[in-house]
Amino acid sequence: MEQTYKLLLVFAGGGTGSVVRYLIAQWLPQGKMPWHTLTANITASALLGFFTALLLLKPGQLEQQRLFIAIGFCGGLSTFSTFSLEGIELIRNGQIGMAILYIVLSLASCMLAFWAAWVATR
């Protein structure tokens, strides 16, 4: 597969994932807990778990889908860098309890979402 085509697949997937992330942020209420980022991370983790399981079941057959979905879309949708920033901001604002809850909830739910999608696919 030509390199330019691969880059376009990643670009298109990443742009789509970023737009979905933006729409999630518009849809969910803004409050003390950054629910929009948590939702985006859980969704991306579940999709990546599902797709990773498919890749293992059909190796080599899904290169275009891997580039668009796994690298592009999930990369654009998942906001772990934003998660890190928001966790630090909660700590800096003295909301230590909320920061701990946010960090634990984010990590545990994303791992669970990935595992559940993985198991459901296999």
Q: What is the tens place of the pLDDT at every residue in 79-122?
A: 888 899 899 999 999 999 999 999 999 999 999 999 999 999 88
**Single pTM value for the model:** 0.79
- Could you list the residue range(s) of the whole structural domain that residue 16 is in? 3-121
Q: What is the tens place of the pLDDT at every residue in 7-42?
A: 999 999 999 999 999 999 999 988 889 999 999 999
Provide the token pair at 115. 């595992």
What is the rounded distance in angstroms from the CA atom of residue 55 to the CA atom of residue 65? 9
CB 50 within 8 A of CB 117: yes
pLDDT attached to residue 57: 72
CB 12 within 8 A of CB 69: no
What is the rounded distance in angstroms from the CA atom of residue 19 to the CA atom of residue 26? 11
Compute, in degrees rounded to 10, the torsion defined by CA atoms 100, 35, 80, 67: 150
